[in-house]
Structure 1
Amino acid sequence: MTSDNQPGAKARIAPAGLAFLAITSLGWGFNWPITKYLVGYLPPLTLRGTTGVIGSILLAIIALLWGQTLRVPLALWPRLVLAAILNVGCWMVLMGFALLYLPASEATVVAYTMPVWASLLAWPILGERPNLLRVLSLLMAFAGLTAILGSHGFAASFSKLPGILMALGGALGFALGTVLAKKWPLHLPPVSAAAWQIGVGCFPISIVGFFVDKSNFAGLSGGGWLLFGYSTVGQFCIAYVAWFAALARLPASVAAIGTMAVPVIGVITSAVALHEPLGIGQIAALLFTLAGVALATQS
């Protein structure tokens, strides 16, 4: 049987992988308007670090209840730390600081160039040569995503350059982590793997946030605490576990392209929850982006 990582081999699309990818997209997509609300009370480092640490502890408890071991063989620690830095820590820190320089919509455009870099990196690292259908799907999804947020007037100015570079760095880091996770899998139980990666990635962020951020936990209403709970359980305990499960079952480039549904969902939920504009042009762009994602799953 040929390996999915073998050059020239046709990658298999596992239905379970697509289901996990859909859960990931919904979990992360819903978290965009929630995060937009919460950052008014909790700065990015505190919000991301705290929810991540709490989420990792809950995942560790779930893993033990399900009979999964939390023991990590000594030989796996280097790749575990690398995965945690790229897939969690790098994304959280760089995107958090990027939002200090960029509107959320513009940061999202730059951040979700990630599938472009993952598809490119998967070729030399994994031998996943991009076929014509996958290239077309990538172009469709990326063009649709750009159209969704283009109405916000993306304009790269010198003052925005630090934010653009940091968002791009976060996208490159996540893309590299996605590809390396396929090349050097952790071979840990899925919930345990998620608990360790999120914990190792977010614990340093929470420590730094504790010293440098000025947080207003007391200002959170009852509804705010519910949203904080979703950002912890929905984003980390559900979506991240589903992401690692999807990545174990799908080619890295397909999984990465599939994440472009996240900002699509984020735009729709923001329009409903935050009353942001969503006209015919934006709806058409959403459909175009989803068509590109669907096409990627057939390639």
Structure 2
Amino acid sequence: MGTAVGRRSGTLLLIIASAIWGCWSTGEKYALRGLPVMTMLGVTLAAAAALLWAVLLAKGHRRPTGRQLRTMALLGLLEPMIGYGAIGLGLTSIEAAQAALLSGTESCFVVALSALAARRLPTLRGVAGVLIATGGVAALGGAHPGARLAAGDLLVLLGSLSAAGSSVLAGRIVSNVEPLVVTAYQFAFGLVFTLPLVLWQWTSGAGIATPDARPGHWFVAAVVCGGGLAIAFLLFNHAIARIPVTVAGVVLNVIPLFGLATAMLALGEGVDRRQFLGAALILGGIFLFSERDLDETPPPGPGGPGRAAAVGDQR
């Protein structure tokens, strides 16, 4: 009975975390209406890192080794610095709904990169899932004039690829480190790598904010995006110890649906037939992954490194 209750509570926590991650692109899109990309990224990472480190220091932890710190620095470079930064740049030219759907391809990148790293072929269902999801990306590209992927789409895909690479790397190198430790250091390093770009933006004439900036933009960047990311990771780290990895992988795959829903409800964005088709293909491709594909790869999603480490602890 206790195990069943633990699994149900773990699944509920994971659904809440997935909803928060899904809302992230919508919150970022709103904040970008008043803040430049680097300001938005810097504020988000500073808020997330502050909350994660507050919890980590209160809990206490063993200091990572030099090798582990170097690995975490690489993780912070891949994501959140490159991953979130690329998605933020993409959101300046595409809608949040489109970005949420494209970010769902991270699952496909994780499966493909894990297969390459392990020097093995994915299952036939895994190959079919990647191909179908690729068709979904092509359908989303058809939503633009000229029926091709725009620069914003490509930047979001780059962010998803970077996040997937970070997930695979973390799952193989720092799997023996507590997930909260990995996540806190990862965001701290990501913030350190981002600060020079923030200073460059501020001194190059772009300024700290646009003339249209309002207190609400700062609030969303810090509390909704930054605090939300930290809370989602904390919920995930608590939930992953209670449920099987395969269940976690399936639940996390609904993140794009939460992103699509919040973009439509909060920002009033519409979705045309091509986007519906693209969403169906991407999600269908993701859910085609077999149990073997899910078992041998870390659960995907925004900020994958922390989750990858959590999965590694279960093996």
% identical equivalent positions: 23
Which of the numbers 122, 125, 131 marks the counterpart of 2:117? 125
Aligned partner of 1:115 in structure 2 is 107
Kindly provide the CA deviation profile for residues 54-97 of structure 1, in whole angstroms up to 9, marking residues without a partner as x.
Answer: 211211111222x2316222231121111111121111233333
Count how many residue pairs are aligned between Structure 1 and Structure 2: 277
| Counterpart mapping for 1:89-108 below 5 A | 89-100=81-92, 102-104=93-95
Distance of 1:108 and 1:226 partners within structure 2: 17
Q: Match for 1:126: what amino acid? A: A
| Counterpart mapping for 1:237-256 below 5 A | 237-241=230-234, 250=245, 255=249
Aligned partner of 1:199 in structure 2 is 188
Aligned residues: CA RMSD: 3.8
| Counterpart mapping for 1:44-123 below 5 A | 44-65=37-58, 67-69=59-61, 71-100=63-92, 102-104=93-95, 112-123=104-115
Q: Match for 1:209: what amino acid? A: V
Kindly provide the CA deviation profile for residues 98-127 of structure 1, in whole angstroms up to 9, marking residues without a partner as x.
Answer: 445x42466666655433332222113135
Which of the numbers 230, 254, 257 marks the counterpart of 1:261? 254
Aligned partner of 1:33 in structure 2 is 26
Per the TM alignment, residue 172 of structure 1 is displaced from its structure 2 partner at its CA by: 2.9
Gaps of 5+ in 2: 1-6, 293-315
| Counterpart mapping for 1:212-231 below 5 A | 212-213=201-202, 214-216=207-209, 219-222=213-216, 225=219, 228-231=222-225
SS of equivalent to 2:208:
coil
Q: CA, structure 1 residues 186+273, in 2 after alignment: closer, same or farther (shift >3 Å)?
A: same
Distance of 1:291 and 1:200 partners within structure 2: 35
Per the TM alignment, residue 238 of structure 1 is displaced from its structure 2 partner at its CA by: 2.4
Q: CA, structure 1 residues 258+152, in 2 after alignment: closer, same or farther (shift >3 Å)?
A: farther
Kindly provide the CA deviation profile for residues 178-227 of structure 1, in whole angstroms up to 9, marking residues without a partner as x.
Answer: 11112112533222221110111123313421341423399424586256
TM-score (norm 1): 0.73
Gaps of 5+ in 1: 1-13
Aligned partner of 2:303 in structure 1 is none
Q: CA, structure 1 residues 202+73, in 2 after alignment: closer, same or farther (shift >3 Å)?
A: same
Aligned partner of 2:265 in structure 1 is 272
TM-score (norm 2): 0.70
Question: Is residue 177 from structure 1 mapped to residue 166 from structure 2 by the alignment?
Answer: yes
Q: Match for 2:43: what amino acid? A: T
Distance of 1:209 and 1:37 partners within structure 2: 19
Distance of 2:73 and 2:18 partners within structure 1: 25
Aligned partner of 1:6 in structure 2 is none
Distance of 1:288 and 1:18 partners within structure 2: 25
Contact map agreement 2:45 2:187 (CA 8 A) in 1: yes
SS of equivalent to 2:174:
coil
Question: Is residue 151 from structure 1 mapped to residue 147 from structure 2 by the alignment?
Answer: no
More displaced 10-residue stretch of structure 1: 222-231 or 262-271? 222-231
Contact map agreement 1:49 1:204 (CA 8 A) in 2: no
Aligned partner of 1:209 in structure 2 is 198
Contact map agreement 1:50 1:202 (CA 8 A) in 2: no
Q: CA, structure 1 residues 241+132, in 2 after alignment: closer, same or farther (shift >3 Å)?
A: farther
Per the TM alignment, residue 141 of structure 1 is displaced from its structure 2 partner at its CA by: 4.4
Q: Match for 1:229: what amino acid? A: V
Which of the numbers 209, 219, 227 marks the counterpart of 1:233? 227
Q: Match for 1:74: what amino acid? A: G
